Structure 1
C-alpha cells in the first residue's frame, strides 16, 4: 500500500516549535517510504482561523523544505482541502450515523459538564455521563426552545485497542473512558472527531503523525472509522516538546514562532535543531528534510516529553 501522510495545521496563529517538530516528523515518516504528503487546513472554526494565516503556514512549510504533494492552495483531486469548505461532506457522513440511530441531541452546557461529579479524563475533560441520552421527544422539544442542542454519538459498548506505531499498545473502553462524544456543536459546526476521520479517509491518508496529546482521541476516531466502514490509517504519536520551564508550548502564550526564529537562524539550522531534539542527529547541525528522510527512524524518536534545552533556540 502506498504511504500517504499529512500535515493538518489549524491556522489560528504562526506555528511554534512543537508544531514545527510534528510537521517535520510527519514529512520524514512519509518520505522515508517514498510516500506522498497532503496539506489539509483545519479551519473548522473559521472565525478563529482567518485564511491569511493559512497562507503564512504554507510559506513557513515551504521555507523549511517541507513541500507537500497535494492540498492547501496547491489543490488536488481530493479537495477541497480547507475544512471550512467541507461541511456538506461531513453532513453526508453524519446522516449515515443518524440513520443507524446512533445520534441524539444534548442540551448540557460546558459549565454543567465540568461541574458534574462524573469522572474526568487525565486532561480534565469530563467523561459525558449520558445525561441527555434517554430524553423523550417532548422533553427534547421543550429544551430546544431554550438552546440549540449539540449532537452526540451514542457510543457502542466497545473496547478499542490499537498499536500505535511509536508508543505501542493503547486501549480504552468507550462507554466508561470517554462517553458519548459530540459530532456537531450547537452552532452547527461539525466536531473535530468526525471531520478528521472523514477527511483522512477520503484523502487517502494511511499514516497519521501527531502529538501525544491527541493519543486519547484515537479510540473515538477508530470507533467512527468502524461505524462508517472507512479504512483506518496507522497512527504515530510523538512526545510533546516542552518549554525549558516544563510547560507545554502554546500559540496563545506567545511561545517562539517561526517568524521569530527566522530572524536568527537559517532553515537548515532550524531543521537540524529539531532533528537533534527528535533523536535523528547526534548534534544540532544544519540539515534539510530531504537529507534526513532516507535515514529517518522512529526508533530514535524519544517516547517521553522532550524538554527544550535553554539556549538552543
Structure 2
C-alpha cells in the first residue's frame, strides 16, 4: 500500500533510464542517447540524498509497531518525499534539464484535472523541444490521438505532427516511437484504417537500425507477427541471438533446420551483407512512408469512440476546451 503512490513515477523513471541506454542496443543512435545519459546522471546525483532519506524513512516506518494512524503516516511521508523531489527537480528544470522536466511531468501524468494535464503537456512539450527521447515519444502519442473538431483536416494535421515527432525521437535515440507508428497503422488505432503491409514496412525500416524490438516483431511467427519470409525470419533471429542468446538461439537454430538448401544459402548471404544503418541515412525511405501513411488515412477519421487509455493524450480536450492539442 505505502508504495502504490510511487507506481507511476517508478514506471516513468524506468522508461527514462531505458531511453538513456537505448544506444546499447541501437548503435545507429548512440550519440543522442549518451547526451541524455549525462542529464540523467545529473538528476540522479541531485536526488541521491532525497532518495536515501526516503528509503530510510520507509524502513523506519516498516520497523515501527503498527498503529491506528499508519495509513496517515504513510501518506504524510509520501507527500513530504514528493515535495522534496520537486524542490530538487524544479530548479534543474528551470535551468533547462529535460530529464528533470520529465520527472516532474511523471507526477501528473495520470492526472485528470485540466490543470494537471496542462502542466503535463507544458513540461513534456518543453522537454521535447530540448530533444528528450521519451518526451518526443510522448508527443507522438499526444498528437496521434487528437481529434479536435473531428474534421479530417485536423486529424490529418495531428497525424503529420505525430510522424514528425517520431522522426525526431528516432534521431534522439528512441526508436520505439517508430515502432509505435507501425503499431498504430497495423492495429487500427484511433481513427486510422488498419494496413498490416504498411505497418510491416515501418517496422522493417526501424529494424534496419539494429533496434531489438522491431527485429523481434518481424521475427515473430504469424499470426502474432508479420509473416515475413523464412530467410528474413532467420536474419532477425540471428541478430537477436547475438545480443540475447538465452532468448533467441534455440528458435534461430530451429528456423535454420527448416530452411531448404537454397534458403540457407540466401540466409548466409543476408547475414554477410547485414549491418545496422543510422536512422538519418534512412530519411528518403522514411519520407516515403510518411507520405503513404498520411495518404492511407486521408479518407477516414474512424469511429468517434471513447479513448480508454488512462493517460493525458486521451484527455487532451480537457486541457484545450475540446480543440485538441495544437502547438
Normalising by the residue count of structure 2, what TM-score does the alignment of the two structures yield? 0.21
Between structure 1 and structure 2, the one with the greater Rg is 2
Higher helix share: 2
Normalising by the residue count of structure 1, what TM-score does the alignment of the two structures yield? 0.22
